[in-house]
Structure 1
Amino acid sequence: MSTNKRVLPADNDGLGSTSPSSALPAELFEHIFLYVTESPRNAKALPKGNPLTEVTLSHVCSKWRTVAIRCTRLWCYITNDGDDREHLPERFRIYLERSKDRLLEISVSFCSYLRSAVLVEQEILEILAECSSRWRCVSISVTDYVDLMDERGQFRTPLRLCEAPRLEFFKFSINSGCGHHFPFRSNLKPNALLGGCPKLSYLQLDDSSLSAFLPQISNVTVLDIDISNNSQSHIAWPVFLDIAKLPLTALSVIDHEQQGLSGLQLIDFPIDMPHLKHLRWTTRNAEENCIPLCSVVITLLRAPSLETLSLFDVSLEDILDNPRTWIPNLRSMVVVDCQDISSECILNLSSASPNLTDLVIVTTEDCHPRPRSLLSCIGELSESRSIEAGEYPWPKLRTIVAHLEQDPQLDIYRTFARRRFQAFIACGGDENALPPLMLKVPEKYLDQWAYMSVQGGEDCGEEDEDEDEKKHFDLGLAGGGLLQSISVEDYPAWLHGAEKPVRSAMFVEANEFSWDFRFWGLA
């Protein structure tokens, strides 16, 4: 990085003194530089490893260099991408000097087998530990080797003992395929950043880092735990009970279904999470004859503030005879490739979440065994319960996004809409004041249905050519049609509106409490 210290001649303005840009005030240059460096980073417009833009800007001419070096905010983002490893410690020190006393955003990834590289990375970690009082957002990834771990699976670095009083976001991941065995965690006792991190509110860990590098998390409000696909670990029941005691507003878990929960049928107490607003749970590598932790949690959960619930590959069968679920504020639910859908489960969920308005249902071709259609099950219950009990599941439903790879037939959607209409009437609703209900399906289904309708001689309705180019087909339902159209928006993002306590979108990845068909490989 010796080139960074080279001072360009004063007359080397790069564009000439007569250039219009030379008359721009330095403050405007600073805004332009910040836009160029931060906007692509936040929008992920540039690939990882792109040459460091702030360094390039400081090398254009003497004026740009003066402005760039004076702009302390330009040097607050520190990464080990885009440079030779032997120069990294020097570059890190230069960035720390130029950023003055500003809070730092740090993203480093260690992935080399070479001993010389390990020594460099150890030096980098020591440099980072020295400036821990300035940390705001830190992301560390360790892959391919375990030289930074001791025989007990603990980090050897000074990061274990340092203090981070202004740290808000922390992400730590360790490649569990690197051959190191990490001890099983049975509690949430911290073993990293032991000096304290009282402002830490956003924590993202995998199974290995959960064992080897867990800071104090008593004030964490957003927690993301990803148990890797090839891991033998899982979240133990005592650990989850400790997690439930945190003041969480958002929780995302990717875990294994597990054995060893046979005694949970006897549990007769609720899991109270009064602050939780967003819950997402994904199950991997389900074992036979196991009791899924997620099903137990959902059955016992009392979260009066919960707004969004997303379930991926989760068994929906009832575990307990006396469910305690109470999520009255739930507005949005996503269900993807979920098995064992029972009528009792739907009735329990709908009773616990009477204000649900938005539902996403996805079953892919890879879902085996073929699950019972949740859409059909809700329709059947709407018909039967409205007659037997004068009520039906989720009467406030207004939008349903349905992607049913295994059931793409139009009749499933038509029958569902008709049953919902009949249930509304049976429960005393006014036929002339039907509540709105919109079904959204993949565009390929509409094309298929339109083709089949033309072949069969039916009229599916005229295509609506509005400015958004959405396609609408009237299903011709009786009684005015509860479902007036199917709208296609080419897999719109299904945002859950989770609070993100940090500014930089470099930490806002696609799996953080958001719904995007393309990310999950469904587009």
Structure 2
Amino acid sequence: MSNNRLDSSKEAKLSELNQRKLKRKAELKVLTCSIEEINQELIQIEAEHAAIQNTRVALLALPTEVTCLIFQFALGYHVPRHSEPFFEITASHVCSQWRTISLAYPRLWRRVCYVGPKIFLRDLDRLDAYLQRSVPQGLELWLDFRKTHIDDEEALLEKTLEHVERWKFFSVFAAEEDSLAHLLHEIEHVCAPNLEHFAFSCEVLGFPRSYDLVKNLDPTIFTNGAPKLQSVILDCSSVACLPSLSNITTLRLEIPHAGTVFAFPWSTFQHILALPWLENLSLFGHIFYSPEPSSTGQITMTKLKHLRSEYGGMPQLLPRLRAPLLQTITIQNHNFLDCAGASSEPYVFPSLKSVTLINITVDTSSGEWYFAQMTESATEILISEEASSLAIFSLLQNSEELLKIFYWSKVKVLTCNFEIMEADDHGAFLQFAKSRCKNDLVVRIFDRLDRQWRRDFSPEYDVFTEACNIEIMDVEDNPFSQLWPPGEHSFEHFHDNEDPFDIKPY
């Protein structure tokens, strides 16, 4: 059996090495502590140095109230908010002075935007921090749960419910039927005394075709009251979560995703059209089952100011609509049919200012002519088509039946978004401009179309500029992509903040 013991000299060497090791570790610990102390002292020195230097920075010498106003103004440039870092986070990390001011300024933290998931506990802590820092301000909540686990979603929602009396704007976006059922349960009997805007999209595909949900407009959420609610956005798979609509002024009903089969029956949609305070109505998709035009009576909407419709049957109801305050109409992806059953004398919307037509097709000249008569009061026409020959006014100008009939006589601004200006349409444009020379007509086009027109049809372009004023539009100030309703606070949209009526320049 071999002897594994070391001889005495090696044992002594190991003992010496261990002692040296322990000594060096002790020295290292002392040095580490010393380095930490030095680092802390350096941080303090740098802070004091920066504080003295900052006394020369005019921005940091402003009164706290002025700094808060600057924060509030800058915050406006970060709406809509779908990517980090958010302004309030950035501002609170610039320097200690700004951090102190920002953390004590509740208005800076009233907009809570959750675009998770990340790390759940961190998300929950962050949400709680916003909720506490924003007291007593009204809350603007934007909660995107489309990729969040249902359990985490429930916890985050329950945290916000602790502050329901402060809800001002409340937008929730989910992607599961369980989310729909959970939200309905959580806010069914809630009272939201300060809620002004509610948006909910569940994106449930193939939602059951059950009219039990919409036989009337009785609220299924906030049943204990939401007296200040004025604006509602719903996709039709989420219509089970229906707040009281009795006081609303703005309503958006949309079917944004393929596969949804839900729609309002006509009997229920009539109640929507009869809402007493409704000023702004936007419909995207086949929202309701259209009745036979000949069987529809007169529809009176005394408060309506702004109307948008894409697909669906609303444009076919225009001949029956009486809206004395209507100012803007936007119609997209629609086919003007023959106005069978309409009154022989069209109702002219007396307050109408602007008409926007996007990708419109026409079956008969009577349909386009009837629409032109109804919108005779308009002073601005906006048209977006792939080719100029498809524009409704080109069809009107080139119609032999309507050749001698004057329409849109008050138009002062014609805004066009075409990919192609076709040679045969120059005459129609020129005739339209010449017949309205007393209006000082302005034709607005994007730079791309202007360059194509100048390049391919230079003589015609020169003649056209003599008949009217041509204005080149800025892509960044696209008139086909504006806030809606006009002049209102832009409530954030739920399709990744894409308004389905926004049109990009060709």
On whether the aligned pair clears a TM of 0.5, the verdict is: yes
Cα deviation, residue 142, structure 1 = 0.7
Residues 461-505 of structure 1, C-alpha deviation per residue, up to 9 Å, x if partnerless? xxxxxxxxxxxx42269xxx6x33543324552258735654777
* Matched residue SS, 1:155: helix
Q: Does 1:448 align with 2:459?
A: no
Q: Quick one: which of 379, 385, 401 aligns to 2:397? A: 379
Q: What residue identity is the alignment partner of 2:76? A: S
Alignment of 1:363-402 (within 5 A): 363-364=385-386, 373-380=391-398, 387=404, 392-402=406-416
CA distance in 1, matches of 2:440, 2:372: 19
Give the structure 2 partner of residue 307 of structure 1: 327
**Contact conserved, 2:209 with 2:261, CA < 8 A, in 1?**
no
Q: Quick one: which of 83, 102, 105 aligns to 2:137? A: 102
**Contact conserved, 2:190 with 2:223, CA < 8 A, in 1?**
yes
CA distance in 1, matches of 2:237, 2:449: 42
CA distance in 2, matches of 1:61, 1:356: 53
Instruction: Decide which structure has the larger Cα Rg and report it.
Output: 2
Q: Quick one: which of 143, 146, 151 aligns to 2:177? A: 146
Give the structure 1 partner of residue 83 of structure 2: 49
Cα deviation, residue 313, structure 1 = 0.8
Cα deviation, residue 332, structure 1 = 1.1
Q: Per residue, is there more helix in 1 or in 2?
A: 2
* Matched residue SS, 1:274: coil
Q: What residue identity is the alignment partner of 2:485? A: A
Q: Does 1:18 align with 2:52?
A: yes
**Contact conserved, 2:379 with 2:411, CA < 8 A, in 1?**
yes
Give the structure 1 partner of residue 109 of structure 2: 75
Give the structure 1 partner of residue 300 of structure 2: 272
Give the structure 2 partner of residue 417 of structure 1: 430
Alignment of 1:114-263 (within 5 A): 117-143=149-175, 145-150=176-181, 155-177=183-205, 181=208, 183-184=210-211, 185-210=214-239, 212-230=240-258, 231-246=260-275, 247-256=277-286, 261=290, 263=292
Q: What residue identity is the alignment partner of 1:161? A: H
Going from structure 1 to structure 2, the CA distance change for 1:229 and 1:94 (only over 3 Å counts) comes to closer
CA distance in 2, matches of 1:50, 1:496: 23
Give the structure 1 partner of residue 377 of structure 2: 355
Cα deviation, residue 215, structure 1 = 0.6
CA distance in 2, matches of 1:386, 1:453: 24
**Contact conserved, 1:329 with 1:353, CA < 8 A, in 2?**
no
Give the structure 2 partner of residue 3 of structure 1: none
**Contact conserved, 2:411 with 2:441, CA < 8 A, in 1?**
yes
Cα deviation, residue 191, structure 1 = 0.8
Q: What residue identity is the alignment partner of 2:503? A: W
Q: Does 1:296 align with 2:316?
A: yes
* Matched residue SS, 1:78: strand
Q: What residue identity is the alignment partner of 1:187? A: N
**Contact conserved, 2:385 with 2:417, CA < 8 A, in 1?**
yes
Going from structure 1 to structure 2, the CA distance change for 1:319 and 1:238 (only over 3 Å counts) comes to farther
Cα deviation, residue 306, structure 1 = 0.8
Cα deviation, residue 197, structure 1 = 0.9
Higher relative contact order (CA 8 A, sep 6+): 1
* Matched residue SS, 1:79: strand
Paired residues in the alignment total 449
Residues 307-354 of structure 1, C-alpha deviation per residue, up to 9 Å, x if partnerless? 111111112113432246441221211111112243222332233232
Cα deviation, residue 60, structure 1 = 5.6
CA distance in 2, matches of 1:64, 1:496: 32
Going from structure 1 to structure 2, the CA distance change for 1:29 and 1:395 (only over 3 Å counts) comes to closer
* Matched residue SS, 2:50: coil
CA distance in 1, matches of 2:51, 2:390: 73
**Contact conserved, 1:86 with 1:120, CA < 8 A, in 2?**
no
Going from structure 1 to structure 2, the CA distance change for 1:107 and 1:453 (only over 3 Å counts) comes to closer
CA-atom RMSD in angstroms: 3.5
Cα deviation, residue 100, structure 1 = 2.1
Going from structure 1 to structure 2, the CA distance change for 1:493 and 1:404 (only over 3 Å counts) comes to closer
**Contact conserved, 1:10 with 1:62, CA < 8 A, in 2?**
no
Going from structure 1 to structure 2, the CA distance change for 1:49 and 1:415 (only over 3 Å counts) comes to closer
Q: Quick one: which of 470, 493, 497 aligns to 2:478? A: 493
**Contact conserved, 1:339 with 1:371, CA < 8 A, in 2?**
no
* Matched residue SS, 1:256: coil
Moved more, 488-497 or 309-318: 488-497
Cα deviation, residue 51, structure 1 = 3.0
* Matched residue SS, 1:418: helix
CA distance in 2, matches of 1:11, 1:118: 49
Provide the TM-score with structure 1 as the length reference. Answer: 0.75
CA distance in 2, matches of 1:304, 1:14: 67
CA distance in 2, matches of 1:262, 1:486: 43
Going from structure 1 to structure 2, the CA distance change for 1:357 and 1:499 (only over 3 Å counts) comes to closer
Structure 1 residue ranges without an equivalent (≥5)? 1-8, 284-291, 425-432, 461-472
Going from structure 1 to structure 2, the CA distance change for 1:296 and 1:485 (only over 3 Å counts) comes to closer
Residues 198-245 of structure 1, C-alpha deviation per residue, up to 9 Å, x if partnerless? 1111111111122x2111111110111111231112333123211111
CA distance in 2, matches of 1:415, 1:180: 47
Going from structure 1 to structure 2, the CA distance change for 1:27 and 1:13 (only over 3 Å counts) comes to farther
CA distance in 2, matches of 1:496, 1:333: 15
* Matched residue SS, 1:147: helix
Cα deviation, residue 59, structure 1 = 5.2
Give the structure 2 partner of residue 344 of structure 1: 366
CA distance in 2, matches of 1:92, 1:277: 38
Cα deviation, residue 173, structure 1 = 1.0
Cα deviation, residue 271, structure 1 = 0.8
Aligned-residue identity in percent:
24
Going from structure 1 to structure 2, the CA distance change for 1:208 and 1:447 (only over 3 Å counts) comes to same
CA distance in 1, matches of 2:455, 2:272: 52
CA distance in 2, matches of 1:162, 1:244: 27
Give the structure 2 partner of residue 281 of structure 1: 309
Cα deviation, residue 303, structure 1 = 0.8
